[in-house]
Amino acid sequence: MEDKIKRLKEIIDGSDNIVLFTGAGISVPSGIPDFRSANGLYNSGLTKYGVSPEEAISHHFYELRTADFFEFYKNNMVFKDAKPNVAHKFFAELEKQGKLKAVVTQNIDGLHEQAGSKNVFNVHGNIYKNHCEDCYEFFDLDYVLGFEGIPLCDKCGGVVKPDVVLYEEALDTKTVQGAVDAIASADTLIVVGTSLVVQPASSFITNYFAGKNLVLINLQATPFDKLANLVINEKVEEVIKKLKELQNENQKQNK
């Protein structure tokens, strides 16, 4: 692993336009479960509603069984107390340094923004943004969580829907365009904590990335490993801690 950390540092040091692409794995150290792992939510069988977890966060379930949708959503998809971990903070710092130009994330937890990242493309939406389906008034997460059942707009009484992309819904066109533009212009793409099986987000890599360095940091192998310049199958928090240690050692030697 030590050689791979050195190589990762070399790649970052030699890059001027890094884009980060993240999945659930980057937020696991913050206490948010990886839903697609062997013991994850998506492999847990039917919910108490008689449907799979995927169906429970689908558009048609939201439309037909709105109260059940919100109960499931609040209990399984929202982790308000989660805080950014060392990986979120490290990449936010890279952005401040001007090396990292954008974050493209499949996560809806908002932890990149909380860590300080500014240019974030939330391709699956964000739990902290919610809107009334009738008058389009926007509400924060606390407003939605404050309702026992279905959250209703205090202006017109319409249903307040989370701005997250449910199954059967299309991705936001403007967000997708920003994400693919960033990936297309990157010289280095660092992919963290994703199995790269969720479409269409994972297709962004094969369809748009043409840079010189593809780095994959994930516990398990992915379908893209053979395309990568560097693959690190370790916990992301351990990788970042060791990378920071190496950076600190080099700084001391250069003084």
Main-chain dihedrals φ then ψ at residue 125, nearest 5 degrees:
90, -170
Q: What is the DSSP-derived secondary structure letter of residue 159?
A: B
Q: Which one, of 39, 60, 40, lies nearest residue 49 by Cα?
A: 60
Backbone torsion region of residue 125, taken as left when φ is above 0, otherwise alpha when ψ lies between -120 and 50, otherwise beta: left
Amino acid code (one letter) for 174: K
Main-chain dihedrals φ then ψ at residue 18, nearest 5 degrees:
-95, 140
From residue 148, alpha-carbon distances to 74, 134, 209 in Å are: 10, 20, 44
DSSP 204-251: HHHHH--SSEEEEE-SS--TTGGG-SEEE-S-HHHHHHHHHHHHHHHH
How many other CB atoms sit within 10 Å of the CB of residue 142?
A: 9
Residue whose pair of structure tokens reads 């920003």 in the numeric block: 178
Q: Write down the catalytic residue from 59, 88, 124, 131.
A: 124
Give catalytic status of residue 124 as yes or no.
yes
Instruction: Please answer whether residues 83 and 30 qualify as being in contact, where contact means their C-beta atoms are separated by less than 8 angstroms.
Output: yes
Query: Which residues are designated catalytic?
Result: 124
